[in-house]
């Protein structure tokens, strides 16, 4: 690994020659924000803040990159004239990092990045064309299970419901504390969804038992997993500049414990992850630094999983290619818009 610091690289880590092990993929996508704005600049702010994050991880017992080659990719920006066409562009871009030969960490951008990433994941070798095998683990203040918001079915507020429509087999959520009646009914009736509400896990007297139940769920998972971290899942005091900060959320250490528990599950392969709804905070770098710290924890846990044999690179290319017009012709399921 090259010595020194590289401006514009995640953690300031310069890339060495050789095959990439981890790709940090910034996505400047922001087309459906409904409250605060600025998520399109969040990935770059997170990368800049990461320069101040310590490289040492106590669970890994080493400084990153710990023998791995990390590549910070150029910022992706959509050029298509419509939202749906940009989703197809994003899916095609994401697919190049979901071949199974490396681990991608996507930085957003609004949470609307999730459905195209999930579409791209269908041909990951661990998924092999069948997204019903895939579990999405979501930390979020919002359920993101609306059928639409402001007459847009691909709003960031629909990220989880559209991902299920794309074909994801299971959704496991925690931190949820801002949701609609429609979403409450969806959580109650859809057997694919398991939700841990913040009012339970954060309760000052009984929250410990609810939180342990969440960790037990993570430990019981099997198969391929995508981890999506909307940083507004954290308490608003930690990420005040995110698009929709909400009080009563998860602590930083609960997010860390979630990541560590998920990645050390011997029956799970975390194929990809994203950290989203990052917005640059100008009076203090707290929001983007918090996001950078958790993104770093994800990378450290992946390196540890790789070291301990819970993640193995695939050398053969996946079968099939992502449909570049998928979202332009996409119709949500009847059940999700009823």
What pLDDT score was predicted for residue 33? Answer: 58
- CA dist., res. 171 & res. 164, Å (int): 8
Residue 110 lies in a domain: yes
Number of domains in the chain: 1
31 neighbors 108 (Cβ within 8 angstroms)? no
| Per-residue model confidence as pLDDT tens digits over 55-99 | 999 999 999 999 999 999 999 998 998 999 999 999 999 999 999
**Is residue 335 predicted with pLDDT exceeding 90?**
no
Torsion (CA) 227, 246, 209, 133 in degrees, nearest 10: -20
| Per-residue model confidence as pLDDT tens digits over 254-293 | 999 999 999 999 999 999 999 999 989 989 999 999 999 9
160 neighbors 112 (Cβ within 8 angstroms)? no
* Residue 283 neighbours by CB distance under 10 Å: 7
What's the distance, CA 62 to chain centroid?
24
| Model confidence, pTM | 0.95
Helix (H, G, I), strand (E, B) or coil at 276: strand
Residue 4 lies in a domain: no
Residue 331 lies in a domain: yes
Helix (H, G, I), strand (E, B) or coil at 301: helix
Residue 10 lies in a domain: no
33 neighbors 39 (Cβ within 8 angstroms)? yes
Residue 6 lies in a domain: no
Higher per-residue pLDDT: 252 or 36: 252
CA distances from 172 to 41, 216, 220, 333 (A): 28, 12, 12, 20
Supply the range of the domain harboring residue 317.
Answer: 17-337
Residue 99 lies in a domain: yes
Residue 259 lies in a domain: yes
Q: Which residues of 166-175 are buried (b: 16+ CB within 10 A; e: fewer)?
A: bbbbbbbbbb
**Is residue 331 predicted with pLDDT exceeding 70?**
yes
Residue 12 lies in a domain: no
- Average pLDDT estimate for 226-244: 95
Question: Which CATH number belongs to the domain containing residue 108 in this structure?
Answer: 3.40.800.10
């Amino acid at each position: 690994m090259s010595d020194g610091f590289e401006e514009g690289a995640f953690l300031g880590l310069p890339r060495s020659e050789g095959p990439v092990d981890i790709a940090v993929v910034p996505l400047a996508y922001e087309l459906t924000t409904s409250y605060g704005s600025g998520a399109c600049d969040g990935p770059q702010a997170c990368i800049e803040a990461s320069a101040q994050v310590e490289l040492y991880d106590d669970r890994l017992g080493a400084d990153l990159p710990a023998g791995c080659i990390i590549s910070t990719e150029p910022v992706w920006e959509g050029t298509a004239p419509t939202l749906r066409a940009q989703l197809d562009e994003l899916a095609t871009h994401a697919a190049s990092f979901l071949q199974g030969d490396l681990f991608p960490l996507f930085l957003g951008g609004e949470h609307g990045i999730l459905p195209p990433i999930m579409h791209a994941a269908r041909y990951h070798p661990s998924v092999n064309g069948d997204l019903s095998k895939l579990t999405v683990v979501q930390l979020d203040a919002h359920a993101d299970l609306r059928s639409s918001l402001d007459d847009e079915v691909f709003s960031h507020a629909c990220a989880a419901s559209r991902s299920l429509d794309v074909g994801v087999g299971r959704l496991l959520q925690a931190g949820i504390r801002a949701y609609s009646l429609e979403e409450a009914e969806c959580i109650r009736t859809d057997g694919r969804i398991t939700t841990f509400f913040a009012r339970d896990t954060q309760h000052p007297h009984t929250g410990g038992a609810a939180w342990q139940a969440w960790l037990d769920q993570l430990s019981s998972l099997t198969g391929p997993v995508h981890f999506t971290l909307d940083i507004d899942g954290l308490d608003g005091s930690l990420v005040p500049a995110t698009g929709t900060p909400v009080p009563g959320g998860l602590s930083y250490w609960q997010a860390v414990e979630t990541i560590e528990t998920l990645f050390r599950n011997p029956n799970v392969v975390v194929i990809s992850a994203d950290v989203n709804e990052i917005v640059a905070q100008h009076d203090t770098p707290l929001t983007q630094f918090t996001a950078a710290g958790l993104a770093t924890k994800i990378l450290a846990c992946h390196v540890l999983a790789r070291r301990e044999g819970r993640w193995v690179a695939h050398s053969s290319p996946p079968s099939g290619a992502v449909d570049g017009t998928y979202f332009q012709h996409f119709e949500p399921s009847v059940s999700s818009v009823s």
